[in-house]
Every structure is written in structure tokens, then in C-alpha cells.
Amino acid sequence: MEISRSGAFVMVPARRNNHTIDDIVKPPNGFPETRITSLKEFEARNFLYVFKSFHGNPSVYDRAIERDNSSTAIVIKTCKEMEGPYVDFIKNQYQKPVLLTGPLVP
């Protein structure tokens, strides 16, 4: 999955209380109806690390949500034609502008 697809699936406020494999396998509430309808169990298990706190520090999820909540806008390296439904979902989750830089190559 591209960054906005995986970000829309895992790193959104709708996941705040959904931290089990059974929760992560399913899309969050409001996720766009696309060909991505679920994750495989091994994929969900890999995503569990983002919810884990190490040494009492905030988890990756908590830091990402705080970063996006405290920003004025969110910038993603993609374009509307490639990932429009996921970008719209992220925009709705955070209620702020999502700016797209286009499909830049390294």
C-alpha cells in the first residue's frame, strides 16, 4: 500500500481505541469503499508496533496523531488521481486541508 493508503487505514483518529489484531484487520469507520477491504493477519500484526509504547514514551501512533492534529495542513506525496478516496478520508478525519505534491520520483 502507498503511504496515504496505509496511513488512512492505520494512522487516523478513528483507530484511537482499536489496537488489537482483530480491529486492525478491518478498515476504520468511514474508510472509503475501494478494493482494500481488509488486511491479512500478518499485515495487521506488523502494524501493531505503531501502538506500542517503548520506555514510557508516546507510541508512533500517538506522536503521528499529535503531529497531524497540531498542524495547519497535511502534505502527502501523491496525487488525487492515484489515491483520491484515501486523501479525502484523511482530510475528513483531521478536518483540515490536505495538500498533494504529486507523484515525485526520487
pTM for the structure as a whole: 0.83
Give pLDDT tens digits for 4-39: 777 888 889 999 887 889 999 999 999 998 877 888
pLDDT tens digits, residue range 84-94? 999 999 999 99
d(CA 40, CA 21): 10
Distance CA 105, CA 3 (A): 14
Per-residue model confidence (pLDDT) at position 3? 58
Q: Which residues contact 96 (CB under 8 A, 6 or more apart)?
A: 71, 72, 73, 74
Provide the pLDDT confidence category of residue 73 given band limits of 50, 70 and 90.
very high
